[in-house]
A and B are shown apart, each in its own frame.
Chain A
Amino acid sequence: MVKYERQLGKTFAALADPTRRAILARLEREDGASISGLARPLAVKLPTIMKHLDVLHSAGLVTRSKAGRTVTVRLAATPMQSAMAWLSRYERFWSRSLDRLSAYAERKEAAARRRTP
Chain B
Amino acid sequence: MSSLTLVRRIKARPSIVWDALTTPEGIGYWWGPDAGPVVIAETDVRIGGRFRVRFRMLDGTEHESSGEYREVSKPQRLAMSWRWRGEDDSGESLVEIELRAISAGTELTFMHSQLRDDEIRTSHEQGWGGALDKLVQHYLEHPNGASHGIA
Question: A interface vs B, CB < 8 Å?
Answer: 5, 8-9, 12, 15-16, 21, 24-25, 28, 75, 77, 79, 81-106, 108-109, 112
Grouping DSSP codes into helix (H, G, I), strand (E, B) and loop, the A interface class, with mixed when no group exceeds half, is helix
User: How far, in Å, is B62 (CB) from chain A's closest CB?
Assistant: 14
Task: Check A84/B135 contact, CB under 8 A, given A12-B145, A77-B124, A93-B33.
Answer: yes
Q: Which of these, A83, A98, A102, contacts B149 with CB under 8 Å?
A: A83
**What separation, in Å, do the CA atoms of A66 and B138 have in the docked complex?**
33
Residues of B1-24 at the interface with A, using a CB-CB cut-off of 8 Å, are 2, 4, 6, 8, 10-13, 16-17, 19-21
Whether A79 touches B128, Cβ cut-off 8 Å, given contacts A98-B110, A106-B11, A109-B105, is no
Q: List 25 A-B contacts (CB under 8 A).
A: A12-B139, A12-B145, A24-B132, A81-B124, A82-B121, A83-B149, A85-B131, A86-B120, A86-B123, A87-B146, A89-B134, A91-B138, A91-B149, A93-B32, A94-B110, A97-B31, A98-B8, A100-B32, A101-B20, A104-B26, A105-B10, A105-B12, A106-B105, A108-B19, A112-B13
Q: Which of A5, A84, A86, A101 contacts B30 (CB 8 A)?
A: A101
Q: Is the CB of A8 within 8 A of B145?
A: yes
Range for the number of chain B residues in contact with chain A: 35 or more
Instruction: List B contacts of A25 (CB < 8 A).
Output: 132-133
Residue B42 lies at the interface, judged by CB distance under 8 Å to chain A: no
Q: A15-B136, A84-B134, A92-B134 are in contact. Are A97 and B8 (CB under 8 A)?
A: no
Instruction: Provide the residues of chain A in CB contact with B132, threshold 8 Å.
Output: 24-25, 28, 75
A89 to B33, CA, bound (A): 9
For B13, give the chain A residue with the smallest CB separation. Answer: A109
Given A85-B134, A104-B30, output 8 extra A-B contacts at Cβ < 8 Å: A12-B145, A75-B128, A88-B138, A89-B123, A97-B32, A101-B17, A102-B10, A104-B29
Kindly report which residue of chain B lies nearest to residue A112, judged by CB atoms: B16
Residues of B within 8 A of A (CB): 2, 4, 6, 8, 10-13, 16-17, 19-21, 26, 29-34, 105-106, 108, 110, 112, 115, 119-121, 123-124, 127-139, 145-146, 149-150
B124 x A109 contact (CB < 8 A) = no
Closest A residue by C-beta to B9? A102
Q: For B110, what are the chain A residues with a Cβ–Cβ distance below 8 Å?
A: 94, 98
Q: Which residues on A sit within 8 Å (CB–CB) of B32?
A: 93, 96-97, 100
Closest A residue to B95 by beta carbon equals A94
